[in-house]
Amino acid sequence: MTNIQPSIAVLPLVSRSPDPEDDYISDGMTEDLILSLSKVPGLKVSALTSSFTFKGKQIDIREIGEKLGVENILEGSIRKAGKHLRISLQLINVKDGFCLWSERYNRELEDLFALQDEISLNVADQIRENFGHLQIADQLVEKPTQNIQAYEHYLKGRQQMRFWTGDSMASAVEHHKAAIAEDPKFGKAYVEIAWGYFMLIAWQFIDAKDHLDLAHSYARKAKVLIGDSSEYYYLMATESMWMDWDFSNTRHYLEKCLELEPKNSMYLESMAECCLAVGRLEAGMHYINQSLEIDPLSPNHVFTKGRLFDLMEKPEEALVYYERTHELNPDFELAYGHKAQILIHLKREAELQEWVKHCQEPEMILKLYQVYHASKEERALFSLDKLSANYGLFPWKTYILAQSPDSTIAAQALREVVEMKLGSCINYRFDPFLKHLSNLTELSDLYPQMPNKEEVLKAEPSKEEDRIDQEFLKVLEDFIKVEKAYLNPRLSLRDLAASLECSPNFLSYQINNGLQLNFNEYLNGFRLKCFQQKALDPENKNLTLLALAYDSGFNTKSVFNDFFKKSTGLSPRAWLKGQEA
């Protein structure tokens, strides 16, 4: 048995529904399967963003597996017709393209949560039976609401949030409001509304004065309903980070998130962003690398790694990651602007002239280039105090004014965006265009002592090792032989555990760690011996080898041939000829 960590990616389920607007069901089912499988300790699950990179694309399974770093792919389709769901799934091994498992489900929409749990458990069981021990809970999906209409609105909101634009976040908030109108106790929907408001405020899409109190009211309701959840702690981390710029509190809440979900790439990326804000760049790199291991095709994660290189003053490395962000998401505006900043620093004017055609406010970017590279005397001629511009996604106006030889103008420019808590200025202490202002006495209050707490890089919690029970393994072997359980080609680990009156997790651990075999390898060993005995029996000389394999419990020709050759080094026919000789 190999010691490679079991791994899987869930590709976006293809919507076969007659109504194109029902796409949210297939996206929502995909997201929920990813989240539920991520709860299985020891199972590497490719994160949502990376999986959705392949939505609507026809790409070879092996290429997808290589890009995501996984050995198995779950793919399929879903059709919604009224309140009826028809789902078809197959689990494929990337290495050889072999279908490990396939199933079809016909259910009513009202049974959605039970169906998600059943599918998740079936897939996790198949991974365990084929690739090694996993500790699988009895239930992987919990009902977040009793109202299926509320959940449909929630799924529509989650789908909108994945577009990461001001308009889509505002649309998501409205869908989640519709969800709580259907179910006033739907805690996750309150979290999504408050979170959406916080992000819209931080990036200046809506006015804080009109919406901050409203966001807090939804957050308070979320606390009452699901206060001990990772979703709620992440909401509090978001408020601390983007609303308050309170990075100690941010870290506190993110640590709680990661205690509950240590492999959540979004939480890990947020920890990297928190490290960015306080200048702990090496620690930030540690967290973002963990994020990218789980979600390698996430534009957000790739961008954040670029920002870390940027503030480490490694511009060429940063450019690689900003350009990679463009490839993954051509509409990712932050990467465009930060690449423009680097081109200004590197004095690559000709390249900048072309690049600003992709950016918002190109005139302001080119103005910054002129001012930044001008002499002190030349800057005095620019009349910077008369500069007029709104604050958009980037504080170009602040960057320009910060270069003023008049310290009063420069200081006021920075103070204005810091007091606004403008999201793009959260790293102002280390921003190459702004950090020179730390020497101004009139801004000393904006540069408080940075926390000197040593970075504690949390290791994954150690698992208590179970004891190998040799007596149980002998009972198991006797049961398999006496009952000839291996002759059942559909025997599952859960079925065998029920026969032995033990838990599936205990049985899996004993086989994998006590015998160094996965479940299917263990059973196929008995089937192989059975086949060899049958093949050498003269009474069976008129039967084909494949028929004897099926009589011995093997369920497919390819599994039989592959296992036989792996175990003996010969094909079944070559082995038989050798025995006859």
For residues 52 and 166, state if they share a domain: no
108, containing H or E segment: strand 99-108
For residues 152 and 92, state if they share a domain: no
Instruction: Inform me whether the pLDDT recorded for 453 exceeds 80.
Output: no
Instruction: Residue 122: give the domain boundaries.
Output: 7-131
Mean pLDDT of the 351-371 span: 92
Confidence band for 383, pLDDT divided at 50, 70 and 90: low
Instruction: Inform me whether the pLDDT recorded for 454 exceeds 50.
Output: no
| Residue 395 is assigned to a structural domain of this protein | no
Residue at which a domain ends, from 107, 131, 155: 131
Mean pLDDT of the 195-210 span: 87
For residues 91 and 167, state if they share a domain: no
**Amino acid in position 578:** G
Residue by residue, what is the 3-state secondary structure of 441-484? HHHHHHCCCCCCCCCCCCCCCCCCCCCCCHHHHHHHHHHHHHHC
Residue at which a domain ends, from 76, 99, 131: 131
The sign of the CA dihedral 286, 234, 120, 466 is positive
For residues 96 and 14, state if they share a domain: yes
For residues 223 and 183, state if they share a domain: yes
Q: Kindly report whether the global pTM for this prediction surpasses the value 0.95.
A: no
Report yes or no: 366 and 390 within 8 Å, Cβ to Cβ. Answer: no
Report yes or no: 77 and 14 within 8 Å, Cβ to Cβ. Answer: yes
Q: Which CATH number covers residue 479?
A: 1.10.10.60
- pLDDT tens string 18-77: 888 888 999 999 999 999 999 999 999 999 899 999 998 989 999 999 999 999 999 999
Report yes or no: 93 and 518 within 8 Å, Cβ to Cβ. Answer: no
| Residue 481 is assigned to a structural domain of this protein | yes
Mean pLDDT of the 315-342 span: 94
Mean pLDDT of the 152-172 span: 89
| Residue 393 is assigned to a structural domain of this protein | no
| 139: its two tokens | 């239930």
pLDDT for res 207: 86
Confidence band for 390, pLDDT divided at 50, 70 and 90: low
pLDDT for res 492: 93
3-state secondary structure at position 149: helix
| Residue 543 is assigned to a structural domain of this protein | yes
- pLDDT tens string 239-267: 999 888 999 999 999 999 999 999 899 99
**Amino acid in position 274:** C
Residue at which a domain ends, from 205, 236, 262: 262
| Residue 234 is assigned to a structural domain of this protein | yes
- pLDDT tens string 185-198: 999 999 999 999 99
Q: Which CATH number covers residue 157?
A: 1.25.40.10
Mean pLDDT of the 131-139 span: 92
Nearest to 123 by CA among 101, 145, 156: 101
Report yes or no: 435 and 419 within 8 Å, Cβ to Cβ. Answer: no
Dist. CA 572–CA 551, nearest whole Å = 15
For residues 170 and 121, state if they share a domain: no
Query: Could you give the number of structural domains in the chain?
Result: 3
For residues 256 and 152, state if they share a domain: yes
| 223: its two tokens | 């606390």
For residues 168 and 127, state if they share a domain: no
Confidence band for 461, pLDDT divided at 50, 70 and 90: very low
For residues 110 and 150, state if they share a domain: no
334, containing H or E segment: helix 333-345
Residue 84, phi then psi, degrees to nearest 5: -110, 140
The sign of the CA dihedral 116, 118, 119, 120 is positive
| Residue 250 is assigned to a structural domain of this protein | yes
| Residue 354 is assigned to a structural domain of this protein | no
For residues 122 and 178, state if they share a domain: no
pLDDT above 70 coverage of the chain, percent: 94
Dist. CA 128–CA 469, nearest whole Å = 19
For residues 67 and 169, state if they share a domain: no
For residues 180 and 97, state if they share a domain: no
Dist. CA 226–CA 323, nearest whole Å = 39
| Residue 343 is assigned to a structural domain of this protein | no
